[in-house]
Amino acid sequence: MLILECPCCGVKAEETELAPGGEAHLKRFGPGSSDADFDSYMFARANPKGVHFERWRHANGCGKWFLAARCTATLEVFGTYPAQTTEPPAELQAYIKSRRPEWEGYK
Amino acid sequence: MKRYSMFAVAREGLNYHLGWGRAWRNPAPKKKYDVIIVGAGGHGLATAYYLGKNYGIRNVAIIEKGWLGGGNTGRNTTIIRSNYLQDPSAAIYEKARSLYETLSQDLNYNVMFSPRGLLMLAQTHHEVRGYRRTVYANNLQGVTTEWIGPERVKQIVPIMNIHGPRYPVLGALYQARGGTARHDAVAWGYARACSDMGMDIIQQCEVTGIRQVNGKVTGVDTTKGSIDCDKLGLVVAGHTSVLADMGGFRLPIESLALQALVSEPIKPCMDVVVMANTVHGYMSQSDKGEMVIGGGTDGFNNYTQRGSWHHVEETVRALVETFPMISRLKMLRQWGGIVDMTGDRSPILSKTPLGNCFVNCGWGTGGFKSIPGSGWAMAELMARGEPGPLTEEFSMYRFREGKFIDESVAAGVAH
Amino acid sequence: MSTRLARGGRLIDRTKPITVTFNGRRMAGYLGDTLASAVLANDQMMVGRSFKYHRPRGVVASGAEEPNALVGLGTGGRFEPNQRMTTTEAFDGAETASQNHWPSLEFDIGAINNKFGRLLPGGFYYKTFMWPRSFWKHVYEPIIRQSAGLGKVPTDRDADRYEQAYAFADVAVVGAGIAGLTAALGAAKAGKRVIVLEMTPACGGRAVVDGITIDGQGADAWVAAAVEALRGMDNVTLMTRTMATGLYDHGYLMAAERIADHTPGDGRPKQRLWRIRAGEVITATGAIERTLSFAGNDIPGVMLAAAVRDYVVNYGVSIGDRTVIVTNNDDAYRTALALLDAGLRVPAVIDARANVTGALAQAVRDRGVRVLAGHGVAKVHGGKRVTGVAICAQAGEGAMIEEIACDCVAMSGGWSPVVHLWSHCGGKLNWDETSAMFRPDPQRPPLGADGRGMVRAVGSANGMLTADAVLADAHAAFGSGAAPATDAPAEAAMEPVWIMPQGAGPKLRMKMWLDPQNDVKVSDVQLAAREGYESVEHTKRYTTLGMATDQGKMSNINGLAVLSNALHQPIPATGTTTFRPPYTPLNFGAIAGEARGEIFQPLRRTPIHDWHETHGVEWEPVGLWRRPFCYRRPGESTEAAVNREVRNTRQNLGLLDASTLGKILVKGPDAGKFLDMLYTGVMSTLAVGKCRYGLMCNEQGFLSDDGVVVRLSEDSWLCHTTSGGADRIHGWMEDWLQCEWWDWKVHTANLTEQFAQIAVVGPNARKLLEKLGGMDVSKETLPFMAFAEGTLGGFDARVFRISFSGELSYEIAVPASQGRAFWEKLHDAGQEFGLMPYGTECLHILRAEKGFIMIGDETDGTVIPQDLNMAWAISKKKADYLGKRGQERSYLASADRWKLVGLETLDGSVLPDGVYAVAPGVNANGQRNVQGRVTSTYFSPTLGRGIAMGLVKHGPDRMGEVLDFPGDNGKIHQARIVDQVFFDKEGAKNDA
């Protein structure tokens, strides 16, 4: 039963309050884009065993989507941040690096 | 290899069973193999077995980072069925089911295939329609299934409450030759047969890198050194993305935890498998007497293989509602398996962007039931280098073409 | 014989006698007894049969690790199989029955397996039962299943109820022995909110049995004072009879409180399941004694040494008159002393250690008991009860030195910390060579959400095996200053003994039980190793070691030590199997809680729900809603009711509760732009007061929902969705607005439950609304696909002139609070126009007669709008909409896709639902080729014949062609491809 803090309303929400939404920071490719680009947007997933950036919605709470950085191997949550960002905040990336020195970084 | 039989057991019994040899050898890796299969679960071992049996390719290593059969093969709910809606699925799952019928004899290892029958309950009108459609499809696919009404359901499963106030049972999709098998035995049986053919099963050996020259695979780096190969098969279920990353490509896969649990053993009370997708739960009774119960997947990426709580709660609620008499039984043990889910929830048996590297993954919650068929088809793909009829629809490139094999159409949620 | 002593028993109340029955025999006990102590007090040593060989089984332990003493408890709706007697409180009138035998416990036919034991080694079934093939299902498996299985099957519905509750604390302490109490006191005094969970009814754990003094007080008094102190603190909750069953990710602690298990039928819930969130979990869960592996160690009367002591001290029950103690450590000598104190005989203590030097041993010697150092048990004599032991040298092969008559053997192989909760979420263990045990590695604890350790183990759960070490460890968790101190004597080191004697041959090893429930012996583990099942998980699964209902609490460490020796590797190289929740088995009823029957899942009710209930409704579940399928009149069949509803709606007037339809308000300066992305058509150009039908696709391009969009005002649109789609589509909208187009100025609100929506359908629809009055609903003012807001018959109404039936039709939304009254008003006022309510099946037929698609029927997640000939609803001008790129993919853009057509059987019959149209030949996998399928099929009461829609390859180009649809029992249904609109092709009725 995971706990994630919703950055919008500040509630430390249990997993049952939340709806998972898959990998974060995917770039949408629309009409006219190449097959490879569309594939990368719709299907291909990093699915790392380790640091993962992902989408969650505080569905049974404030209703807001947010993003989380979480380790899929230990379930450690490095932090959550608003969905309205194009990449993880720098201080979060630094924190992850401090917790996982071997992490290759957000690309 | 010493043949297994009642007589052999009796003979060895006179000598306190001190005379049995190893079921499979424990060799050090050679420098090079014709084929390396990564992953000694059911699918990897079956792939190797049919490479040897059907194509005479026996210079094969099966590399396993843990112990053979220790992944999803050893932690599923052992259901076998082939009542799938879409043609490609029905073909490969029925191939698997029919191979299960004679697997004990083929391997000389009792995998305890028990075609005890399998029911998928329809509890909404939508499900009724979906399952009826499946029955018509199955009859054209050569898969024997039938639609049965609620009274017949009750006859087959007397402990079921078909008149639940919320979701009364409206009928069921029935596959009389579906059932269960002993999951560990499937891996062990294939392992013994592979070893007997001269193949090397190398356990406690983790692949750390995939070596390639000019876009073609040449071997793997492992914790036991580098090993060369002509062809490489990645058959590692939940960890496929990690290996694909080593090979330099991505797959349409996410690793999710699937929940399962068993009760304490009781005397036989249900000799079929029951799946109830509306309420999210399925149950069978093992030969030991435990009620074996499966539930849903968590929706977030997870590699921990641990049981979580709320899916278990949801599943148990559903089953207590469907089988009120289990309320005073007790959960003995719960666990999780890491399943690899694709974009359409159907598997991938495919060539990859890396030459001579093949992938078999994405079985999601349907892995165990498909093991023999998957191995059979994967062996064909690897031996020929090109997909055959069983695999041609399961390419990893089908997603960009939009050629989905979507089983959720009829099956609701779980497999 | 085992009996009740005249004195003693700190947990029983001799003033409160009770009676329990065992296999029909009445037995006297006292309040405070467990079922085990109660039957042992009545000389009932044998209490069950083992799983495989059906060997006699007696009580071996006194707690949760008990593998043998399992009974069926109670009758009828309170019957419960596999109740562990050692942890079940006895109560007056408790009826118990032993398990897994036929015809009786004393004489069991199944025990014949025991005679063939040599033929049935670990994993024998993998090597046999393969011929003939059909015999597995029909002969072998049924026999094996019948012989296995332990408890009887409950037949009745559970008569009890279960509750669930939540709790929060800074610190949750699991276990209220002296370690748990000390840690809890420390945490409580530090001002933390503390929850203490104790599985038994009484606190104190082992220290009170061992009778030490703590800080100068007797342990009993010290514990009582500690409990009183904790109970007196506002920041502490102390819960007894509460088993912490599992620790889950991010520190979710589950605990089961037994409330009425020991007072069945008193009106309280049987159990209460707690979900506890604690800042930190302290496991003070103690340790479990290990058995010793000697031949015949499974015979009733062979028990754990500490358990023998527990029965004497806690319950005043002697297991035997003459107890031989077998040990490899000092603690077992406490049992000798307790027995001597109770006036019982201890003929000898057999100690495997060559040098026995400890103070406890000396105290025993001082009382005149023989201590045989360097010795072991060669064999236990007896069948259903111990009669004696043969003694040998531990270092030898088992040559008998002497025989000692006895009726109880108390064994101790050392102690294993209870590390289950520590391990559930990935806490790691270290092997402790000195005490031969796995103990928690504080450097590798289970990690919480923040990646830091969330559990600390204290006391013997942390590997501290003497009282002073336990107290010091537990005190250090939170306390300051000096830890409580005891008078417990120092103990000499134990020596690991994994088989006894160490050189035992195969014949003896076949008699050494590791797991007495599942009948796993030392020889089985050695066989597994020999055959290459070298991983501890392989061995477990091959032999079933540790898979019994005690989940290896007693047997695991011994088993993996034997395996390690067989593999010539150190124990830590073998490792342990995985510890999984729950710690002890947990009732399914408790897990399900109160979600049973009608409240199994929440029920969503429209404002008109109760009216339907009283008007002959036949319900259909739609998600969590229920919708009327039809309304049956007395004596009317479902089919007749549906046909009547269809005919009446077409001829007169029908009324439909459409409240479950999704109603999502989309508002803001960018709302039009947003909806243009969401729908395949253009919504931004819709005029205020007008309605437009729209399709929504997912990014794959597949059709996901449809509905009528209404422009309410310049900046607000109301989007209708399907009943099942409302929440999903609202979430979908929010996803795009929050995560992709977050700079667009749009708000959404899901108003589905704020409005009741009622469809007034049929030729008389306008007449009814005009009768109600208040709004102009004429064809001129409110034409097809128009919207108006006003009052109707005094109700605040939003009127949509739309039709899903081809009839003249209005959908009217009123505030939910007015829904029921409005429905009744329509219903009453409509009687003169022939009004009848209709349900979802009639709705489906009406729309099918008109060839309208239904999400979920014509679509199944693989269908695109183009397949349904709905290109008209897709804007060609828009550069982008959700799903457009997906639809550009080759397979979706193919000309060979199956497309929607109407289907008419040649004989007027109804096509079966879901049938496929076959094409000649078979595919490469031998499957029959197909070229289409039926998506909707009904009997049309209007036309008096079957009608259907389906998807057919190149369908619209093949009008008039006849297709074959194989149905049930080999019947081939023939149907002609026709236009999908079957009724009123010109739309005259809608236009009325």
Q: Where do the domains of chain C lie, and which CATH numbers do they carry?
A: 3-114 (3.10.20.440), 162-287+417-478 (3.50.50.60), 291-413+491-496 (3.50.50.60), 512-579 (1.10.10), 611-660+754-847 (3.30.1360.120), 662-752 (3.30.70.1400), 895-978 (2.40.30.110)
Q: Which of A32, B359, B203, B198 is nearest to C889 (CA)?
A: A32
Q: Are C303 and C411 in contact (CB under 8 A)?
A: yes
B376 pLDDT above the threshold of 90: yes
Q: Which residues contact C368 (CB under 8 A, 6 or more apart)?
A: none
CB pairs under 8 A between A and C: 68
Which of A19, A44, A75 faces B250 most closely, judged by CB atoms? A44
As a whole number of angstroms, the distance between CA C95 and CA C109 comes to 24
Residue B339: strand pairing partners: B256
Which tokens go with C872? 């008209």
* Domains assigned to chain A: 3-27+34-99 (3.30.2270.10)
| Banded pLDDT at C109 (limits 50, 70, 90) | confident
Note the pLDDT tens digit of each residue in B53-112: 999 999 999 999 999 999 999 999 999 999 999 999 999 999 999 999 999 999 999 999
Contact B332 C585 (CB under 8 A): yes
| Banded pLDDT at B412 (limits 50, 70, 90) | very low
Please tell me whether the peptide bond between B115 and the residue prior to it is cis, using omega within 30 degrees of 0: no
Per-residue model confidence (pLDDT) at position C992: 82
User: CATH fold of B28-109+182-252+344-411, please?
Assistant: FAD/NAD(P)-binding domain (3.50.50)
Q: Are C916 and C932 in contact (CB under 8 A)?
A: yes
First to last CA, chain A: 29
Contact A75 C250 (CB under 8 A): yes
Note the pLDDT tens digit of each residue in B231-280: 999 999 989 999 999 999 999 999 999 999 999 999 999 999 999 988 88
B408 pLDDT above the threshold of 80: no
Averaged pLDDT score across all residues of chain C: 96
C110 pLDDT above the threshold of 90: no
A7 part of contact set with chain C, CB < 8 Å? no
Interface of A with C in 11-70 (CB under 8 A): 14, 19, 21, 28-33, 35, 38, 42, 55, 57, 59, 63-65
- Quote the minimal CA–CA distance from B247 to chain C in Å: 27
Predicted interface score ipTM higher than 0.95: yes
**CA dist list (Å): C787 to C670, C709, C765, C991:** 22, 10, 16, 16
What are the counts of helices (DSSP H) followed by strands (DSSP E) for chain A? 2, 6
Per-residue model confidence (pLDDT) at position C116: 83
For residue C446, what is the nearest residue in chain A, using CA coordinates? Answer: A74
Longest alpha-carbon distance in chain B: 65
Average pLDDT rounded to a whole number, residues A62-81: 97
Average pLDDT rounded to a whole number, residues C409-421: 98
| Banded pLDDT at B410 (limits 50, 70, 90) | low
Q: Are C512 and C523 in contact (CB under 8 A)?
A: yes
Neighbours of chain B (3+ CB pairs under 8 A): A, C
C149 pLDDT above the threshold of 80: yes
C447 part of contact set with chain A, CB < 8 Å? yes
C interface mutation test: which of B22, B111, B314, B327 has the most C CBs within 10 A? B327
Which of B255, B304, B310 faces A16 most closely, judged by CB atoms? B310
- Quote the minimal CA–CA distance from A58 to chain B in Å: 14
Average pLDDT rounded to a whole number, residues C739-746: 97
H or E element that contains C214: strand C213-214
Contact C449 A38 (CB under 8 A): no
Contact A1 C249 (CB under 8 A): yes
Averaged pLDDT score across all residues of chain A: 96
Contact B304 A46 (CB under 8 A): no
Residues of B with CB under 8 A from a CB of A: 239, 241-242, 245, 250-255, 298-304, 308-310, 343, 399-400
Chain centroid to CA C935: 36
For residue A67, what is the nearest residue in chain C, using CA coordinates? Answer: C739
| Banded pLDDT at A51 (limits 50, 70, 90) | very high
HEC readout, C112-156: HHHHCHHHCCCCHHHHCCCCCCCHHHHHHHHHHHHHCCCECCCCC
Average pLDDT rounded to a whole number, residues C281-309: 98
Per-residue model confidence (pLDDT) at position B1: 74
In A, which residues are within 8 Å of B242 by CB distance?
48-49
Residue pointed to by tokens 């520190």: C251
Q: Are C305 and C118 in contact (CB under 8 A)?
A: no
Given CATH 3.30.9.10, say whether it is the number of domain B118-177+255-341. Answer: yes
C interface mutation test: which of B14, B15, B17 has the most C CBs within 10 A? B17
Neighbours of chain C (3+ CB pairs under 8 A): A, B
Q: Return the percentage of chain C with pLDDT > 90, whole number.
A: 93
Question: Side chain identity at C680, as an amino acid letter?
Answer: T
A6 part of contact set with chain C, CB < 8 Å? no
Contact A44 B251 (CB under 8 A): yes
B413 pLDDT above the threshold of 50: no
C913 part of contact set with chain A, CB < 8 Å? no
Average pLDDT rounded to a whole number, residues C449-466: 97
C58 pLDDT above the threshold of 80: yes
Residue C946: strand pairing partners: C939
Per-residue model confidence (pLDDT) at position B160: 96
Q: Which of C270, C249, C260, C576 is nearest to C428 (CA)?
A: C576
Note the pLDDT tens digit of each residue in C866-912: 999 999 999 999 999 999 999 999 999 999 999 999 999 999 999 99
Higher pLDDT, C296 or B297: C296
Averaged pLDDT score across all residues of chain B: 94
Question: Side chain identity at C91, as an amino acid letter?
Answer: F
Q: How many CA atoms lie within 13 A of B229 on its CB side?
A: 32
Which tokens go with C501? 């004697």
Pairing relationship of beta strands C95-98 and C70-73 according to DSSP bridges: antiparallel
Nearest-5° Cα angle at C414, C412 to C419: 125
**CA dist list (Å): C989 to C652, C690, C975:** 12, 20, 28
**CA dist list (Å): C649 to C653, C654, C808, C842, C843:** 5, 5, 10, 9, 10
In B, which residues are within 8 Å of C629 by CB distance?
125
In this structure, the number of other CB atoms found within 10 A of the CB of residue B61 comes to 26
As a whole number of angstroms, the distance between CA A31 and CA C64 comes to 63
- CATH 3.30.9.10 in chain B: give the residue spans: 118-177+255-341
Chain centroid to CA C8: 42
As a whole number of angstroms, the distance between CA C279 and CA C275 comes to 13
Please give the backbone phi and psi of residue C970, each rounded to the nearest 5 degrees, phi first: 80, 0
| Banded pLDDT at B414 (limits 50, 70, 90) | very low
As a whole number of angstroms, the distance between CA C119 and CA C142 comes to 19
Average pLDDT rounded to a whole number, residues C489-495: 95
Q: Are B360 and B378 in contact (CB under 8 A)?
A: yes
DSSP C186-200: HHHHTT--EEEE-SS
Which of C121, C136, C425 faces B114 most closely, judged by CB atoms? C136
- CATH 3.50.50.60 in chain B: give the residue spans: 28-109+182-252+344-411
Contact B23 C506 (CB under 8 A): no
Task: Among B388-402, C119-133, C373-387, name the one with the lowest average pLDDT.
Answer: C119-133
